[in-house]
């Protein structure tokens, strides 16, 4: 077998770019494979639907921080619709622009080959993949032309559109709060009862509250295998985590109550805090404009997909057919 390189279409689908193709995850979900899609006579690769399903589910679980197995049918239906829409759009692009001039294909093809050569791809491998690369570049150029046409050449974003995007996705740009603390840990083990360990930690806390140097006490008392007592700057990533929840509910200089977490007891003293921040708008303006334009193009493509569905023949067929 020859070397395998990623195709233009694979990279294209993974980008938040003007084709608005969706990022495909790497997870699999075979349990939903109840049939195959056929869109206007074109059979859809079942793996594409399953991977799209897994990506949608993973995104939702990441957003909600919970497992969403009971919503699998909903996610799978969304995946099938998303894939069917992408097929309809690709078919429409080919119908409107069946032939892409060779002079438009040559520059990006040369750039792609040069890039792969820089990364060590052999000439033999590139030659064997050249027609496939040419095909994928043509498909990408068709999509460019389709987007340009359906948007009437309006491929810019206004200040209002950028601001609206920023407000809609402001959480993407928040720099979470951070805190720094000294830390004492006592492990729970067979030689000592949990009650005895808890009593010892309460005594250490009382000593700290009475003014004993927490850092020196931590160095002397911690049972952490590395001996680490200064945990450095910790980012608020998991507010439902008991350690982080306690840490970020405290003021600088405060000593925590005893925290039970991961088969150990913990005591911390906050020695620094940084509040949640947003970067200056100008620092992220280029990215905001890019993402706002990508959203505008996605909306145009989604509107086109809705129109195309009205006359499309989308079937769910048995795998045995």
Q: Which region among 2-6, 26-30, 202-206, 315-319 has the lowest average model confidence (pLDDT)?
A: 26-30
Report, at the CATH architecture level, how domain 175-274 is classified.
Roll (3.10)
Residue 228 above 90 pLDDT?
yes
Residue 165 above 50 pLDDT?
yes
8 A C-beta contact, residue 258 and residue 266: yes
pLDDT band at 71 (very low <50, low <70, confident <90, very high): confident
Tallying the residues shown for the chain, one arrives at 321
How many whole angstroms from its chain centre is CA 254? 36
Domain spans of the chain? 8-167+285-317, 175-274
CATH of region 8-167+285-317: 1.10.4030
pLDDT band at 318 (very low <50, low <70, confident <90, very high): confident
pLDDT band at 65 (very low <50, low <70, confident <90, very high): low
Averaged pLDDT, 151-160: 91
144 or 66, which is more confident: 144
Averaged pLDDT, 206-217: 96
Mean pLDDT of the chain: 87
Residue 18 above 60 pLDDT?
no
What are residue 202's phi and psi, to 5 degrees?
Answer: -65, -40
156 or 318, which is more confident: 156
Residue 89 above 60 pLDDT?
yes
pLDDT band at 121 (very low <50, low <70, confident <90, very high): very high
Residue 36 is predicted with a pLDDT of 87
Query: Which structure tokens are listed for 96?
Result: 């409107």
- Write the burial class of residue 64 (CB in 10 Å: 0-12 exposed, 13-18 middle, 19+ buried): exposed
pLDDT, tens digit, for every residue of 21-44? 333 333 333 444 457 899 999 999
């Amino acid at each position: 077998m020859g070397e395998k390189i990623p195709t233009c279409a694979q990279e294209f689908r993974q980008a938040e770019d003007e084709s608005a193709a969706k990022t495909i995850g790497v997870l699999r979900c075979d349990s939903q494979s109840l049939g195959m899609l056929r869109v206007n006579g074109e059979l859809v690769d079942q793996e594409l639907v399953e991977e799209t399903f897994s990506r949608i589910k993973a995104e939702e679980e990441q957003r909600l921080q919970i497992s969403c197995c009971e919503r699998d049918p909903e996610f799978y239906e969304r995946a099938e619709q998303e894939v069917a829409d992408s097929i309809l759009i690709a078919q429409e692009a080919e119908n409107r622009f069946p032939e892409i001039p060779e002079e438009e294909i040559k520059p990006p093809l040369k750039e792609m080959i040069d890039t792969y050569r820089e990364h060590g791809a052999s000439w033999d491998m590139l030659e064997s993949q050249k027609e496939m690369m040419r095909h994928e570049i043509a498909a990408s150029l068709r999509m460019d032309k389709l987007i340009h046409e359906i948007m009437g050449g309006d491929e810019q974003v206004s200040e209002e559109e950028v601001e609206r995007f920023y407000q809609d996705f402001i959480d993407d740009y928040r720099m979470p709060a951070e805190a720094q603390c000294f830390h004492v840990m006592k492990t729970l083990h067979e030689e000592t009862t949990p009650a005895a360990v808890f009593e010892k930690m309460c005594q250490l806390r009382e000593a700290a509250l009475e003014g004993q140097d927490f850092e020196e006490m931590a160095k002397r008392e911690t049972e952490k295998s590395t001996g680490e007592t200064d945990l450095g700057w910790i980012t608020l990533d998991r507010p439902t985590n008991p350690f982080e929840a306690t840490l970020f509910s405290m003021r600088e200089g405060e000593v925590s109550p005893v925290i039970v977490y991961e088969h150990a007891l913990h005591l911390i003293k906050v020695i620094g805090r940084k509040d949640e921040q947003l970067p200056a708008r100008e620092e992220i303006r280029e990215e905001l404009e890019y993402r706002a334009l990508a959203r505008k193009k996605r909306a145009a493509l989604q509107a086109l997909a809705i129109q195309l569905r009205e006359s499309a023949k989308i079937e769910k067929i048995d795998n045995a057919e």
